Structure 1
Amino acid sequence: MPAPSDSPGLRHEVRRTLVLAAPLVIGQLTNFGMNFVDTVMAGRIGKVDLGAIAVGSSIWAAGFLFTLGVLLAVSATVSQLDGAGRPRQAGEFTRQALWLALALAAGLIVLALSAGRVMDALEVEPAVADLAMGYLRAIAWGAPALVLMLTLRFFSEGMGHTRPTMYVGVLGIACNIPLNWMLMFGNLGFPALGAVGAGWATAIVLWLQLFLMMFWIAWRPQYRPFDVFGRFSAPNPREIVALLKVGLPIGFMVLMEGGLFAASALLVGILGALPVAAHQVAMNYTGLVFMVPLGLSGAITVRVGNAVGRGDPVGARRAGLVGIGIALVFAVCSATVIVAFPEAIVRLYTTDPEVIALAASLLMYAAIFQISDGLQVAAAGALRGMKDTRIPMFYSVLAYWMIGMSVGWWLTFRAQWGPAGMWVGILTGLSVAAVLLTARYWRLSRRTIEFSGVQG
């Protein structure tokens, strides 16, 4: 029977979670910034290049989100093994995850090279489609670097070392801007490749990020007990299948949530130019703000997983609830800012009065779902720390698609609410997910304590 919890108090837990989360938030913001930079710089070339990056990056994002979700299982598992004092086993697990990552890279490459069929089905303008394919062919060269870097990043995060995520993110955006300047606009003797140049710039950045992450792990002494690069391990099907059992549901869950937002943008596009512009402005801002709870979610996974690994169910429950509480506080602050300054926020993106008016009204729905979005991503992170992923996967299908998308579609097209209907659908889906995931963590963490016999 485990000993009673000797985990630190509430104040220490809050401080430790925030220390872990801060570099992750900065890393997420810089990753978001790379796409923002590509979009802004493409807009200076012309609408065809801008459209090509919008279409190409959307297709790439679908594969990326799924891959990211699968590999999130690495941080959950490493955090538990580290908490249990088994660094060598965590190192072996990471080597097996690297083999899986290469298989996922192959899938990303196939997706990029076959994207022409998707664009044909969506009847994308031929000029835009051709340029988007060039963008995808270029960025596909970075797929192996992307997945290997993510695996090593999540290994480091699972140990509780999150600063490398920040360093890699800052390196990415710092290199992306000059590489875009050279390859998109044809400076310093390079040909002007436009949107295709943005794809090459991103591929180069991904390899630079991988080299930095590899150097950091090989150099810093805190990684030596794990011996990740100290030996060669052939693929072990049993280990890889075990990783997939945890990771595939996470990948599917991340894809379901991301797909809800992507599909909503496509459906709003049917309504015309003004709704699309307003929707894009409001969605871009909410996406930027979401990077904070998303980074916090990674820290929650590590704190919960580490407590689970050391046999401390009370500490695991406390870590998850503290993380969810921090996410709730941030969500309230974020919602307050949106309610107080909706038009000022929109004016950062556009000066068109019609777009400002409509986007500001949509931000009111975004203010409400700040609470739901913060809670659901924090609770999902806590559940990942317990390696509970299958039931949350089914929750994601129910909340985001069976309920959220159905409500959004009906209000938008049947009830004639316009883009506001789709935002109500998103709000509904996120709220259902927040209730289901938070309630599951509450029950599961309490049940674990009761089963262990430890007094909380």
Structure 2
Amino acid sequence: MLRNWINILLLAIPSLISFATQTMTGTVSLIMVGQLGFLIIAIVGVSNIIMYNAFAIFSGIGHTLNYLVAQNFGAGDMRKGIQRTYLAMYMCIVFAVLIAIVGFVGADDILRWTGGSDELVHQGSLYLEIRFYAMSFGILNFAFHGFLRGIGATRMSMVLSIMTNVIMIYLTYTLTFGEWGMPHLGLAGTGLAVFIGEAFQLLICAYTFFFVLNKKFHTRDRAAMVFQWAEMKLVALESGKLGAQEFSLSLSMYIFTAFVARLGDHALAANEVALNVMSFGFMPAFAFGATATILVGQNVGKGTPLIGRRAGTDTAILGTIFLIILGTVELIFAEQIAHFYTSDPEVYKLAAYLITVSAYLQIFDGLLNFFAGGLRGLGDTTFLLRISFIASWFVFVPLAYVFIFVFHWGSMGAWISLYSFLMVMGISIMVRFYRTDWTAVRLKEASHS
């Protein structure tokens, strides 16, 4: 068991650091722009939710590439894995153009639909537009990282992520406040920092794929670039299911944010601070979930799915330990942590209360991600789509509406609905993981009919 745990940690810790740098970048950026006032915090928070939805629609491409490449790597058939990578990239390029167009023509309308105040829309539309342009690069980067995780190169993914996020933090500070000879651009500078960071990341990801990895995996093989309809149908179908799953979750989160926005800008800002702090819990959840996808997928490819099942269990145990430790820190220092973001007492005291309540409840988010990662590894994408739709639209959104607008429980009612939803999702996916007939699991192949 000890050897298995060490192997899991060797894969998970680089992913944990990678996600941590992304989370830290978001946190540091929010703390810096928080000096511009609570309205700016609210704009960034609403924009983050909107971008999460835009990303979620197309994130299924990266998740699909992750598990398919892991299976191909385990089966020793990386020629097919490279071919599938090219097909995924073709899809990403098309969608990247569409995302940029949406940002150009509709940023202000999207903010308005979210339910923010007129002042929020006026000050935030340019920032959101730039974030859409950055997302065009972001979906390509996510697919590249999916490939790297599929082959188990989590340390390489970590290095690329750290390089990118250091640049984003530097540019956020200098462009937002006009420091070190840079122009003083305010909130627009914060958005531009994300755009430049994502563009830089795309360049280094492309260099890594086409040059660094070419010797080992023949990533520039022209035969792999050829379009094959059967494989494209597989990649598109799986990407559609996983993208719809993520979008169902993110859209319900968007509606949740719109509900909270109607409680006022202070409540919205406190909600964003609390969500940003709790994203440190999402960090190990995502990292260990990605590790479960790698280990389960590779073992499915090797024809040893039961070993993958054991690896998925061990990954969930280790991830839960991380969440318990993190939750304890958040519980003890909730108010001090929230105070880092803003000096507005109405905002940081409410945020601290929300953090305290959810410190250990985030374990359910962990269960969701750990076992969803395992199910992705074996290709059980249809169930993930179904449970996401049911829990989002028959649990989360109705409860949020009732608790906020019928019972008038305010921000606390919103968060009770959020964690009720995560509890249903986490337990349901865990049960599915253990009720699966692992002896019948097979490598995912394209249908040529």
TM above 0.5, yes or no, is yes
Structure 1 residues 16, 95: closer, same or farther in 2, change over 3 A?
A: same
Q: Is the 8 A contact 1:17 1:299 kept in 2?
A: yes
Matched, 1:449 2:432: no
Q: Which amino acid aligns with 2:201?
A: Q
Q: 1:266 aligns with which of 258, 261, 270?
A: 258
Counterpart in 2 of 1:224? 215
Counterpart in 2 of 1:27? 18
Give distance in 2, aligned partners of 1:109 and 1:417: 38
Counterpart in 1 of 2:246? 254
Structure 1 residues 356, 206: closer, same or farther in 2, change over 3 A?
A: closer
Deviations 1:268-306 (A, max 9, x none): 232235543443332221112211111111111000000
Aligned counterparts, 1:412-427, within 5 A: 412-427=404-419
Structure 1 residues 50, 431: closer, same or farther in 2, change over 3 A?
A: closer
Which one is further off, 163-172 or 61-70? 61-70
Q: Secondary structure at the match of 1:192?
A: coil
Give distance in 1, aligned partners of 2:325 and 2:35: 35
Q: Is the 8 A contact 1:99 1:235 kept in 2?
A: no
Tell me how far 1:408 sits from its aligned partner: 2.7
Give distance in 2, aligned partners of 1:373 and 1:165: 23
Counterpart in 1 of 2:168? 176
Deviations 1:27-56 (A, max 9, x none): 112222333343333344566655554444
Tell me how far 1:205 sits from its aligned partner: 1.2
Q: Secondary structure at the match of 1:401?
A: helix
Deviations 1:414-440 (A, max 9, x none): 223222211111111111111110111
Deviations 1:110-146 (A, max 9, x none): 3312233323434655554355332344344444432
Structure 1 residues 270, 128: closer, same or farther in 2, change over 3 A?
A: closer
Q: 1:86 aligns with which of 57, 74, 77?
A: 77
Tell me how far 1:180 sits from its aligned partner: 2.9
Counterpart in 2 of 1:63? 54
Give distance in 2, aligned partners of 1:342 and 1:129: 30
Tell me how far 1:308 sits from its aligned partner: 0.2
Which one is further off, 78-87 or 181-190? 181-190
Counterpart in 1 of 2:111? 119
Tell me how far 1:311 sits from its aligned partner: 0.3
Q: Which amino acid aligns with 1:255?
A: F
Q: 2:194 aligns with which of 173, 178, 202?
A: 202
- What stretches of structure 1 of length at least 5 have no aligned partner? 1-9
TM-score (norm 2): 0.89
Give distance in 1, aligned partners of 2:266 and 2:121: 23
Structure 1 residues 68, 234: closer, same or farther in 2, change over 3 A?
A: same
Aligned counterparts, 1:180-191, within 5 A: 180-187=172-179, 191=183
- What stretches of structure 2 of length at least 5 have no aligned partner? 443-449
Give distance in 2, aligned partners of 1:52 and 1:362: 20
Q: Is the 8 A contact 1:49 1:194 kept in 2?
A: no
Tell me how far 1:378 sits from its aligned partner: 0.5
Q: Is the 8 A contact 1:134 1:196 kept in 2?
A: yes
Aligned counterparts, 1:356-375, within 5 A: 357-375=349-367
Give distance in 2, aligned partners of 1:204 and 1:395: 37
Deviations 1:193-243 (A, max 9, x none): 32222232222211211222222334446x534222232624433322211
Structure 1 residues 404, 215: closer, same or farther in 2, change over 3 A?
A: same
Tell me how far 1:375 sits from its aligned partner: 0.5
TM-score (norm 1): 0.87
Q: Percent identity?
A: 26
Give distance in 1, aligned partners of 2:357 and 2:233: 41
Matched, 1:18 2:18: no
Q: 2:90 aligns with which of 85, 99, 115?
A: 99
Q: Is the 8 A contact 2:41 2:269 kept in 1?
A: no
Q: Secondary structure at the match of 1:369?
A: coil
Give distance in 2, aligned partners of 1:199 and 1:262: 20
Aligned counterparts, 1:22-421, within 5 A: 22-45=13-36, 52-113=43-104, 114-122=106-114, 124-125=116-117, 128-187=120-179, 191-220=183-212, 224-231=215-222, 233-350=225-342, 354-355=346-347, 357-421=349-413
Give distance in 2, aligned partners of 1:72 and 1:441: 18
Structure 1 residues 293, 50: closer, same or farther in 2, change over 3 A?
A: closer
Tell me how far 1:81 sits from its aligned partner: 0.4
Deviations 1:78-113 (A, max 9, x none): 000010010111111111111011122123213312
Structure 1 residues 409, 320: closer, same or farther in 2, change over 3 A?
A: same
Q: Secondary structure at the match of 2:295?
A: helix
Q: Is the 8 A contact 2:284 2:323 kept in 1?
A: no
Structure 1 residues 56, 18: closer, same or farther in 2, change over 3 A?
A: same
Q: Is the 8 A contact 2:38 2:342 kept in 1?
A: no
Counterpart in 2 of 1:5? none
Alpha-carbon RMSD: 2.6
Give distance in 1, aligned partners of 2:187 and 2:343: 26
**Equivalent residue pairs, number:** 440
Which one is further off, 356-365 or 315-324? 356-365
Deviations 1:138-161 (A, max 9, x none): 344444432332222111110000
Q: Which amino acid aligns with 2:52?
A: A
Which one is further off, 30-39 or 279-288? 30-39
Tell me how far 1:21 sits from its aligned partner: 1.1
Give distance in 2, aligned partners of 1:448 and 1:282: 39
Q: Is the 8 A contact 1:69 1:251 kept in 2?
A: yes
Matched, 1:434 2:426: yes
Tell me how far 1:369 sits from its aligned partner: 1.8
